[in-house]
């Protein structure tokens, strides 16, 4: 009997050992299979990245490619063969990851190139690459994401020979790019990410221009423009009879663009109060071509164009205006229009009078004092239009007409 038990025990150990080896082999097989699956997904996602958006996406985005999910690609456009047609020349979105609720993907790329029909807004922010005078660019960051960050770049460039396949003829191309960033928030986007977005936008614009036969030199070959400090030399306190002392000119253009120009200066508050301080800020902006209509529409939406109800404010019985602290300093805008190299153009100059709140909570400006403000605005406009190195002269503006004033302030 003991011998039978020993035999049974040995048999059980053998069976158990075989089972353990089988389980181990199965586990190893599963692990190998899972590893192979991850490798295949990564390879497929990277191949998708290489092919997506006409192959225009930067390889640096491979750091966002996940190993646990497949990329989702949607791309359309009249320049993509065998694709669903769209009004855009290129419209492409590539996403990775995301929760089941579909609120937002873990990372997303968006590229769009389209012909501008009628109006556009000037790109905001500094572009990280040199651009020719017929092109404007800007970079920024997205505030729409719940988690992570995103960097954007926008380019408005020209296509002299026209963009084909549009409902109406267009010689203006708008490119927008959104790329994921490893920054913790939209406030921490590094310069390297902005540079990557700028390079991608240039690459897309050059591809579309080449495919469309625009007849322009590649933006990638653009050289750093010559310094254009003289563009805003006309905005000088002394000849304009503004207060002498320290002024800051933070809004001045650093390079000439035939599409738009901007100059601005303000009294340096750190310098204290000057006895002859009558104007504390002044500036001028111009927008040509498709930017002109976009700029006018933007100001019109808030009622800040000549002829609207908000362009004039109610005065007291003697024609006086009362301003209280804080934040309702008056700003008078004077609008004009011209024809310039870039096409129909709007000019807008602004003057902000200095109000002395040092010993009072409100300032009353009577009718006689207010007459000085439009005179200051007209002096700024006349000097702006006449300056040899200023934007209007460089853009060969002509047939200028005064459109009217806008009294623009809070309250």
Tell me the average confidence (pLDDT) per consecutive run of 10 residues in the chain, 411 residues long. 49 47 49 60 84 93 85 85 69 81 80 91 90 92 74 95 77 95 82 95 96 92 76 90 83 87 86 74 95 92 81 69 70 95 96 80 78 91 95 96 86 42
Q: Rounded to an integer, what distance in angstroms lies between the CA atom of residue 52 and that of residue 317? A: 67
Judge if 207 and 180 occupy the same domain.
Answer: yes
Q: For residue 142, what pLDDT is reported?
A: 74
CA distances from 238 to 245, 276, 355 (A): 9, 12, 20
Is 195 domain-assigned?
yes
Output the DSSP codes for 109-122: EEEEEEE--S---P
Q: Rounded to an integer, what distance in angstroms lies between the CA atom of residue 188 and that of residue 108? A: 18
Whether the Cβ atoms of residue 381 and residue 347 lie closer than 8 Å to each other: yes
Q: For residue 20, what pLDDT is reported?
A: 44
State the pTM of this model.
Answer: 0.81
**9 token code pair:** 């025990």
Is 100 domain-assigned?
yes
Q: How many CB atoms lie within 10 A of CB 411?
A: 11
Q: For residue 45, what pLDDT is reported?
A: 83
Judge if 147 and 291 occupy the same domain.
Answer: no
Judge if 366 and 348 occupy the same domain.
Answer: yes
Is 334 domain-assigned?
yes
Judge if 150 and 292 occupy the same domain.
Answer: no
Q: For residue 15, what pLDDT is reported?
A: 44
Among the candidates 221, 251, 279, a domain finishes at 221
Judge if 163 and 113 occupy the same domain.
Answer: yes
Residues 6+ apart with CB under 8 A from 178: 108, 109, 110, 111, 142, 150, 151, 152, 197
Q: Reduced to 3 states, what is the DSSP secondary structure of residue 103?
A: coil
Is 305 domain-assigned?
yes
Judge if 148 and 293 occupy the same domain.
Answer: no
Residues 103-120 as b or e (16 or more Cβ within 10 Å = b): ebbebbbbbbbbbbbebb
Q: For residue 23, what pLDDT is reported?
A: 47
Judge if 280 and 191 occupy the same domain.
Answer: no
Residues 6+ apart with CB under 8 A from 244: 237, 238, 274, 276
Q: Rounded to an integer, what distance in angstroms lies between the CA atom of residue 408 and that of residue 161? A: 41
User: Nearest to residue 261, comparing CAs of 78, 383, 130, 384?
Assistant: 384
**37 token code pair:** 């699956």
Is 397 domain-assigned?
yes
**Number of domains observed in the structure of the chain:** 2
Q: Rounded to an integer, what distance in angstroms lies between the CA atom of residue 108 and that of residue 93? A: 7
Cα-Cα-Cα-Cα dihedral of 169, 172, 178, 179, to 10°? 120
353 DSSP β-pair partners: 279
Phi, psi of 109, rounded to the nearest 5 degrees: -115, 135
Judge if 205 and 234 occupy the same domain.
Answer: no
Among the candidates 221, 256, 290, a domain finishes at 221
Q: For residue 387, what pLDDT is reported?
A: 95
Is 71 domain-assigned?
yes
User: Nearest to residue 250, comparing CAs of 238, 235, 239?
Assistant: 235
Q: For residue 129, what pLDDT is reported?
A: 93
Judge if 141 and 209 occupy the same domain.
Answer: yes
Whether the Cβ atoms of residue 411 and residue 323 lie closer than 8 Å to each other: yes
Judge if 112 and 259 occupy the same domain.
Answer: no
User: Nearest to residue 77, comparing CAs of 173, 190, 202?
Assistant: 173
Among the candidates 195, 221, 247, a domain finishes at 221
Is 25 domain-assigned?
no
Backbone torsion region of residue 221, taken as left when φ is above 0, otherwise alpha when ψ lies between -120 and 50, otherwise beta: alpha
**209 token code pair:** 């221009």
Whether the Cβ atoms of residue 78 and residue 89 lie closer than 8 Å to each other: yes
Q: Write the DSSP symbol of residue 183.
A: S
Q: Give the domain extent around 51.
A: 43-221
Q: For residue 21, what pLDDT is reported?
A: 45
Judge if 97 and 66 occupy the same domain.
Answer: yes
Whether the Cβ atoms of residue 175 and residue 77 lie closer than 8 Å to each other: no
Question: Sign of the CA dihedral 96, 98, 100, 103?
Answer: negative
**268 token code pair:** 């340096």
Is 2 domain-assigned?
no
Q: For residue 411, what pLDDT is reported?
A: 42
Q: Reduced to 3 states, what is the DSSP secondary structure of residue 133?
A: coil
Phi, psi of 203, rounded to the nearest 5 degrees: -60, -45
Judge if 215 and 266 occupy the same domain.
Answer: no
């Amino acid at each position: 009997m003991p011998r039978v038990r020993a035999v049974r025990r040995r048999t059980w150990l053998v069976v158990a050992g075989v089972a353990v080896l089988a389980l181990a082999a199965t586990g190893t097989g599963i692990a190998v299979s899972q590893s192979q699956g991850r490798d295949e997904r990564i390879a497929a996602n990277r191949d998708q990245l290489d092919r997506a958006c006409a192959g225009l996406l930067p390889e640096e985005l491979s750091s966002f490619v996940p190993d646990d999910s497949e990329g989702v690609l949607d791309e359309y456009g009249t320049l993509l063969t065998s694709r669903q047609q769209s009004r855009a020349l290129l419209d492409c979105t590539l996403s990775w990851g995301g929760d089941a609720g579909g609120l937002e993907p873990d990372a997303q790329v968006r590229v769009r190139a389209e012909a501008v029909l009628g109006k556009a807004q000037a790109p905001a922010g500094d572009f990280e690459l040199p651009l020719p005078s017929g092109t404007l660019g800007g970079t920024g960051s997205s505030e729409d994401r719940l988690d992570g960050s995103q960097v954007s770049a926008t380019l408005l460039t020209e296509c002299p020979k026209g963009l084909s396949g549009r409902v109406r003829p267009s010689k203006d191309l708008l490119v927008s790019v959104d790329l994921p960033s490893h920054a913790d928030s939209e406030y921490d986007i590094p310069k390297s990410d902005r540079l990557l977005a700028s390079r991608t936008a240039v690459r897309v614009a050059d591809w579309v221009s080449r495919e469309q036969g625009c007849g322009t030199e590649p933006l990638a070959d653009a050289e750093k423009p010559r310094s254009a400090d003289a563009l805003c030399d006309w905005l000088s306190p002394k000849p304009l009879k503004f207060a002498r002392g320290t002024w800051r000119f933070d809004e001045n253009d650093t390079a000439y663009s035939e599409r738009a120009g901007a100059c601005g200066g303000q009294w340096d508050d750190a310098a204290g109060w000057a006895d002859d301080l009558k104007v504390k800020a002044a500036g001028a902006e111009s927008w040509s071509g498709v930017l002109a209509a976009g700029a006018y529409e933007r100001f019109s939406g808030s009622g800040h164009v000549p002829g609207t109800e908000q362009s004039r404010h109610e005065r007291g019985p003697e024609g006086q205006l009362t301003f209280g602290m804080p934040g309702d300093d008056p700003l008078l805008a004077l609008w004009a229009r011209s024809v310039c190299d870039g096409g129909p153009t709007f000019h807008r100059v602004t003057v902000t009078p200095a109000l002395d709140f040092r010993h009072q909570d409100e300032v009353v400006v009577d009718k006689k004092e207010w007459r000085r403000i439009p005179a200051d605005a007209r002096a700024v406009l006349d000097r702006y239009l006449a300056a040899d190195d200023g934007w209007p002269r460089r853009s060969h503006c002509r047939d200028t007409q005064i459109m009217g004033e806008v009294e623009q302030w809070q309250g």
